[in-house]
Amino acid sequence: MKNALLLTGAAARISQEVAIIDKLIEYHELNIDEDNTMFAGFSSGALNIAALNSCFRKNNPLEWNKYYKNEILFNIRNDDVFKKIKFIPLDTIPLRKTIDNFILKAGIKTLGELPFQSYILAFWYRRLKTVWAYSENFKHKALDLSDVMMATTAIPIIFPDQTISSNEKINSSFLKGSFGDGGAGGTFKRFEYYLKKYYKQNGKLDNIYIISPMRELSHDDYQDLYNMMPSFEMLKLKLKEVKLLRIFLGMISQNGFDTFIKRFYKWTRKKQIANNIYVCIPRLPQNYPILNFGLQKEQYKSVCEWIDNNRDTFTISLEKYYMDL
Query: Which CATH number characterizes residue 252's domain?
Result: 3.40.1090.10
**Selected residue with higher pLDDT from 169 and 71:** 71
pTM of the model: 0.93
Q: Report the alpha-carbon distance of residue 12 to residue 69 in Å, rounded.
A: 14
Which residue, 278, 316, 321, is CA-closest to 6?
Answer: 278
Q: Report the alpha-carbon distance of residue 154 to residue 167 in Å, rounded.
A: 21
Which residue, 81, 4, 9, 5, is CA-closest to 42?
Answer: 9
Q: What local confidence, expressed as pLDDT, does residue 184 receive?
A: 87
Is residue 101 pLDDT above 90, yes or no?
A: yes
Please give the mean pLDDT across all residues of the chain: 90
Tell me the residue ranges of DSSP E strands in the chain.
3-7, 37-41, 117-124, 129-134, 179-180, 205-211, 274-280, 316-317
Q: What's the rounded mean pLDDT across residues 5-25? A: 96
By mean pLDDT, which of 205-219, 240-254, 295-309 is the weakest? 240-254
Domain holding 213, by residue range, is 3-324
Helix (H, G, I), strand (E, B) or coil at 37: strand
| pLDDT 10s digits, 180-223 | 999 988 899 989 999 998 888 888 999 999 999 999 776 666 66
Are residues 141 and 120 in contact, defined by beta-carbon separation less than 8 angstroms? Answer: no
How many domains is the chain built from? 1
Tell me the β-bridge partners of 208. 4, 277
233 band by pLDDT with thresholds 50, 70 and 90: low
**Selected residue with higher pLDDT from 2 and 226:** 2
**Selected residue with higher pLDDT from 144 and 252:** 144
Helix (H, G, I), strand (E, B) or coil at 154: coil
Q: What local confidence, expressed as pLDDT, does residue 241 receive?
A: 67
| pLDDT 10s digits, 121-163 | 999 988 888 899 999 998 899 999 999 999 999 998 889 999 9
Q: What local confidence, expressed as pLDDT, does residue 232 receive?
A: 46
By mean pLDDT, which of 214-218, 226-230, 272-276 is the weakest? 226-230
Give me the helix-helix angle, 14-27 and 296-308, nearest 10°. 30
- Which DSSP string do the residues of 68-137 spell out, in sequence order? IIIIIGGG--GGGT-B--SSSSPB-HHHHHHHHHHHHHHT--BGGG-SSEEEEEEEETTTTEEEEEETT-
Are residues 49 and 195 in contact, defined by beta-carbon separation less than 8 angstroms? Answer: no
Q: Report the alpha-carbon distance of residue 282 to residue 291 in Å, rounded.
A: 19
263-to-132, 253, 256, 318 alpha-carbon distances in Å: 18, 16, 11, 11
